[in-house]
Amino acid sequence: MEAVVNWFQDWSDACEYAKECAPDLSFLALREPWSAFAAIALMVLAVWLSNERGLRKVLAKERRARATIQPAGSLAPVLDQMKSPLSAAASRPRAA
């Protein structure tokens, strides 16, 4: 990193000496606080991307598991069986 800063400084000095100065671009070099912020941001981004990839794998695995489960069949016959004793009891007259 220091080499980049030195290169920009040398370039700036040479351009001032030659009196053909272009805008000073030394601000583009990462200095200490900015390089630390960039490193932290890159680490956070890497952890986030890793977490997202893991979540996608888990979700894909769950989707595959759900796709392989076959339903046992319709519940209509079971419901009809359950309703028949109730309907028979409802149709009987009650004793007073």
Q: What is the total count of domains within the chain?
A: 2
Whether 71 is in a domain gets the answer no
The model's pTM: 0.40
40 pLDDT higher than 80: yes
Whether 91 is in a domain gets the answer no
Whether 80 is in a domain gets the answer no
Q: Pick 69 or 14 by higher pLDDT.
A: 14
Question: Do 54 and 40 fall within a single domain?
Answer: yes
User: How far apart, in whole angstroms, are the C-alpha atoms of residue 21 and residue 41?
Assistant: 34
Whether 36 is in a domain gets the answer yes
Backbone Cα Rg of the chain = 37
Whether 75 is in a domain gets the answer no
pLDDT of residue 74: 74
**Domain of residue 55, residue span:** 31-64
